[in-house]
Structure 1
Amino acid sequence: MKEKRGSGEADAQDERSTHSLATTEPSSPCAVSPPSLTPSSTPTQHHLTLERGGGGERQAFNKMPKWMQVRDMLLRAAQDGDRYCEQYGDIIANQVAVERFISSSKGNVERAFKDLKAHLKWRHEYRVDGIVDEDFSDLKARNEVYWGGVDKRGVPTLTWILRKHDANNQRPERFVRFFIHQIETGMRASPNYPNTTFNIMVDLDEVGLHNNDTEMVAHLQPLLVNNYPKVRKALLVFPINWLVSLLWDTLLKPILMTLQPDIEDKIIPLRGDYKAALLDRFAPEELEEAFGGTLPLSVTRPPQPLPYKRVPCSVIVQDRLRRSGSGSGSGSGS
């Protein structure tokens, strides 16, 4: 993949995240600052006011922005011994990441807390941190699921050639893990991780019932819904012809609904001259030759993931305390 593919996401939300919030500047809203560790006379610091206090603290907690409420509930869980929350302080303190889960929970703070808490546990148990280093060379050689070019808004695109999917010759669990491997590899190529947005392009040409894989769909669907909210942009589906229409309910709808649940632009079926429609979204050099562009499949490169190292909650808290203590020097901890 060309170098520019990992850099631009011009239309994405204000993605202020980085791979490690341990380097966040002191004024960043993403850093955690519990009241017991923060000088009370520093008005710019957000105090961690949780429900354990009296009515005043509860009132103050409820007035905080929702993402801070979720962050502080997760931090409290870490302080109470939840090892999964403790491990991922960088995600807990990441405003954009927390707001994605709030959005997917329709603004419900308690649900967002539970969903993000479950996501952190899944990251540990599914071994997501090291998944980009796993060997899937046999599946990659099939050129079934791979990263293509970026669209005109700078959003990278994951391509799925569905006719190459062979449900009879692979274990569904391994294919799903490969799919997550591909997603994580592409997302980590951006400094906005874990909030990298991306398109999914599904080529339906020559698909048939032999490509049906209900067991794989059953494994993949909950992983995407529960762990990648609000990062998928458009789902481009083509070509739409009589055969696709015939197979829509029996074969395609379950797969596409697996990919689609919270995609911003929803499913975009490209009818008629789909190549012209793709060129409206992609520059020719970012679109494969098979789809009407000039990008040879042979020169597409897998994204180069940037290093990711989780930052424990305790480290972020200590770093904030150090920064606060070496700042203006005003006040003492309360």
Structure 2
Amino acid sequence: MSLNLEVPPSNGCEKVILSEEQHMKICEVRRLLGPLSGTSSIYCSDLSILRYLRARNWNVKKATKMLKATLKWRSEYKPEEIQWDEVAHEAETGKVYCADCKDRHGRTVIVMRPCRQNSKTVKGQIRYLVYCMENAILNLPSNQESMIWLVDFKDFDMSNISLKATKETAHILQEHYPERLGLAILYNAPKFFEPFWMVAKPFLETKTANKVKFVYSDDVNSKRIIEDLFDMDQLESAFGGNNNVGFNITKYAEMMKEDDKQMRCSWSAVNPNSLASEKAQSSGLVGSQITNRSESSENERTDGDIHITRKADGN
């Protein structure tokens, strides 16, 4: 027997129908969690609980334990309250940012350039990564829950390797953002990165590690992974696409400040549409970027996950 409840699976590309047993497990997790309030209540949508169940192979007790740990972490770390001005210095070089384009499934794309690391504190690096994750989730369209990572290894060298940062990143993403990774593409990774990958791989759960794909610009077969995922006219030229517009910190900063307003409204249950007139008057610097990022986000979510509701005009 199945229930009429459609949700995206872990790859975020098509919908599935929950069985009655699976729905009952969601209800059981809710019972074990007990009464929730504030941001914890908003966070624990059915789809959010479903991600934790999938991450723990539908084991209710393990999923509940994992979710409780996340709720504790979120109550202390307060990721939804991180603002652009707090992390802007980490973003100056374009080492991590949410791309203008989405993949063919409408998923948010996070670009990473390890060679542009500009800080030495792992704490600051992780806080900025969390900010980017929250923003990427905010910009997911209504029918998606996972994102794509594009890692550019141009000019990468041994000095860019940090085992401590890698371990902390893996911990945060796997424990507090389960089932959010659709695919991670490592683009033109140098040969000397392979031994590091073998050391780092055990930190990842098997199904997470399986989502990591190595793509090389001189390998026709691996390039198909990117060509199948993206409209090449929208994809950055650094990844083999035809878009020559690079990262612009001024434009990106303006866009993030607008998203910060949406984030505050979403988590405080304020109608984001109340900001429409204010956004319409905002700087024309980012108009085209907001339009691009909103094309796949026309419909409002009904799953309880926090997101930006944007029309094609950027409002």
Same topology, TM > 0.5: yes
Amino acid corresponding to residue 188 of structure 1 in structure 2? L
Change (3 A) 1:256 1:200: farther
| 1:1-334 map, 5 Å | 11-12=12-13, 14=15, 65-74=24-33, 76=34, 78=35, 85-87=36-38, 88-92=40-44, 94-148=45-99, 149-165=101-117, 169-190=119-140, 192=142, 196-240=145-189, 244-250=190-196, 252-254=197-199, 262-263=207-208, 266-271=211-216, 272-273=218-219, 277-295=225-243, 296-298=245-247, 301=252, 302=255, 305=259, 306=262, 307-309=265-267
Work out the CA distance in 2 between the residues paired with 1:191 and 1:64.
Answer: 23
What is the Cα deviation at residue 126 of structure 1? 0.6
Report the Cα distance in structure 1 between the residues aligned to 2:231 and 2:199, rounded to whole angstroms: 31
Counterpart Cα distance in 2 of 1:136 and 1:221: 20
Counterpart CA distance in 2 for 1:127 and 1:15 is 32
- Of 230-239 and 130-139, more deviation after overlay is shown by 130-139
The answer on whether the counterparts of 2:42 and 2:267 sit within 8 Å (CA) in structure 1 is no
Question: Alpha carbons of 1:264 and 1:211: their partners in 2 closer, same or farther (altered >3 Å)?
Answer: closer
Say if 1:256 and 1:145 are closer, same or farther in 2 by CA, change over 3 A. farther
Q: Say if 1:130 and 1:255 are closer, same or farther in 2 by CA, change over 3 A.
A: farther
Q: 1:205 to 1:181 in 2, by over 3 A?
A: same
Displacement of 1:134 in angstroms is 4.6
Query: 1: CA distance between counterparts of 2:171 and 2:156?
Result: 24
CA distance in 1, matches of 2:70, 2:22: 26
The residue identity in structure 1 corresponding to 2:115 is: R
Moved over 4 A (4+): 13-16, 253-262, 274-277, 298-304
Q: How far apart in 1 are the matches of 2:160 and 2:205?
A: 19
Aligned-pair identity (%): 18
SS of 2:187's equivalent in the other structure is: strand
Amino acid at match of 1:162: P
Residue 15 of structure 1 deviates from its aligned partner by 9.8
Question: Which whole-Å CA distance do the structure 2 matches of 1:64 and 1:259 have between them?
Answer: 28
Task: Give, as a single letter, the amino acid of the residue that structure 2 aligns with 1:266.
Answer: K
The answer to whether the 8 Å contact 1:15/1:96 transfers is no
Q: Deviation per CA, 1:131-172, whole angstroms, max 9, x where unpaired? A: 144522222111111112211121121011122225xx4211
C-alpha displacement of 1:291:
2.1
Cα RMSD, aligned residues only: 3.3
Shift of 1:290: 2.2
What is the CA–CA distance in structure 2 between the aligned matches of 1:260 and 1:155, rounded to whole Å? 22
Q: Is the contact between residue 106 and residue 141 of structure 2 (CA under 8 Å) also seen in structure 1?
A: no
Deviation at 1:253, TM superposition (A): 4.4
Counterpart CA distance in 2 for 1:63 and 1:188 is 26
Q: How far off is 1:287 after superposition?
A: 0.6
Determine the C-alpha separation between the residues in 2 that align with 1:257 and 1:15: 30
Gaps of 5+ in 1: 1-9, 17-28, 30-61, 79-84, 312-334
Letter in 2 for 1:308: S
- Tell me the CA shift for residue 308 of structure 1: 2.2
Give the TM-score, by structure 1 length.
Answer: 0.63
Distance 1:102 1:11, change over 3 A: closer
Change in CA separation of 1:217 and 1:207 when aligned onto 2, cut-off 3 Å: same
Answer with 1 or 2: which has the greater Rg: 1
Any idea what SS the aligned residue of 2:266 has?
A: coil
TM-score (norm 2): 0.67
Q: Which runs of 5+ in 2 are unaligned?
A: 1-10, 270-315
